Amino acid sequence: MKVTLVGYTPNPLYVCAEAAAVCYNSEPDLKIIKGCIRSGHQSVLEHCSFTFRVEGISRSCSHQIVRHRIASYSQQSQRYVKYDDLDWVIPDYGIDGDFARHACDIMLNAYKDMTDESDPGFQKSTIDAARCVLPNATPTTIYITMNLRALMHFCNERMCNRASKEIHEVACAMKEQVMWAENISVEEKTILSEVLVPKCEAGPIKACPEIGGCGRHKPLKEFVWRAKGRWIGINEWAQMHDSKPSGMGTYFWCSACEEPHESKTKFCPNCGAEMMEG
């Protein structure tokens, strides 16, 4: 796998800063960009772009990449490119590599037989149709152009340790290429290094939003405080208030906000308190 930054907006954050300055009728400054990122006003980050050439990845990886819709893609066509020999992209984990390569070779031989025009006894197929037997391990090359906002989202999702290993490596290599770019200042790279990160490190709280995370950071739920409460029946409510509400015999009250509700739920619909047993 090889990732190359083949083109980009020079001094990208300064370009975005100039766009942001128009919004606020102020002077362009990287402080504006920091504020926009921090506040979530990130549309100004769409004014710069980065183009990558990614080669030697599997078709299964490229299928994951193109799910990121706010980007432009140009990929090697299997309709017009005929394959003779292929260096399969096989995962180095969770699979018998030799067995997988042998299975892929069988598929490649079938593909070559289907497209071999020298054998008069075999019904020929076009490479457009014959590609249906090629496996997901087939290598491919793809050009990717993303604006900075889309690149941030790509890195947030795919640099996560729970992402597929191959696309994780692509995301890390894309960030590395940006950090090596010549026409990006040190000040810009400092900001970029802080936003081209996995999602557990993208916000003000360093926390993992995934279920069963990798252990780099605590789960996000440990940082979310929620009031606790319990459901109170009509008899207990009457004892607390020395009176009995009329016409509300089927209601329950939240102990946190004392608002009545028709049924018991896990969280109070009014104040959001988490309901405990008892």
- Our count of domains for the chain comes to 2
From the list 59, 131, 158, 230, the catalytic residue is 158
Residue 217 in any domain: the answer is: no
Q: Of 115-119, 169-173, 186-190, which range is least confident?
A: 115-119
Q: Do 187 and 263 belong to one domain? A: no
Are 249 and 240 in contact by the 8 Å Cβ rule? The answer is no
In single-letter form, the type of residue at position 163 comes to: A
Residue 209 in any domain: the answer is: no
Q: Do 152 and 272 belong to one domain? A: no
Q: Is the pTM of this model over 0.85?
A: no
Q: Is 79 a catalytic residue?
A: no
Q: Do 187 and 232 belong to one domain? A: no
Q: Do 24 and 136 belong to one domain? A: yes
Q: Do 250 and 123 belong to one domain? A: no
Residue 75 pLDDT exceeds 90: yes
Q: What is the pLDDT of residues 15-44, one digit of tens each?
A: 999 999 998 898 999 999 999 998 889 999
Residues 6 or more apart whose CB falls under 8 angstroms from that of 137 comprise 58, 59, 60, 88, 89, 90, 100, 104
Instruction: Burial-class residue 138 by CB neighbours within 10 Å (0-12, 13-18, 19+).
Output: buried
Q: Do 191 and 252 belong to one domain? A: no
Residue 207 in any domain: the answer is: no
Q: Do 235 and 196 belong to one domain? A: no
Q: How far is CA 113 from CA 15, 117, 121, 124, in A?
A: 54, 9, 11, 8
Expressed as residue numbers, the domain containing 37 is 2-201
Q: Do 114 and 244 belong to one domain? A: no
Q: What is the pLDDT of residues 118-166, one digit of tens each?
A: 766 556 788 999 999 999 999 999 999 999 999 999 999 999 999 999 9
Alpha helices, DSSP H only, in the chain?
Answer: 12-24, 30-39, 59-65, 97-115, 127-130, 148-158, 165-180, 186-195, 234-241
Q: Do 154 and 239 belong to one domain? A: no
Residues 6 or more apart whose CB falls under 8 angstroms from that of 126 comprise 115
The percent of the chain in helix, strand and coil, each rounded to the nearest 5, is: 40, 15, 45
Residue 212 in any domain: the answer is: no
Q: Do 20 and 121 belong to one domain? A: yes
Q: Parallel, antiparallel, or unpaired: how do β-strands 228-232 and 274-276 relate?
A: parallel
Residue 148 in any domain: the answer is: yes
Residue 248 pLDDT exceeds 70: no
Q: How far apart are CA 32 and CA 144, in angstroms?
A: 28
Residue 27 in any domain: the answer is: yes
Residues 6 or more apart whose CB falls under 8 angstroms from that of 104 comprise 86, 88, 90, 135, 137, 138
Q: Do 104 and 193 belong to one domain? A: yes
Q: Do 256 and 156 belong to one domain? A: no
Residue 166 in any domain: the answer is: yes
Q: What is the pLDDT of residues 211-245, one digit of tens each?
A: 878 888 888 877 777 778 888 888 887 888 777 76
CATH code of the domain containing 60:
3.30.1360.170
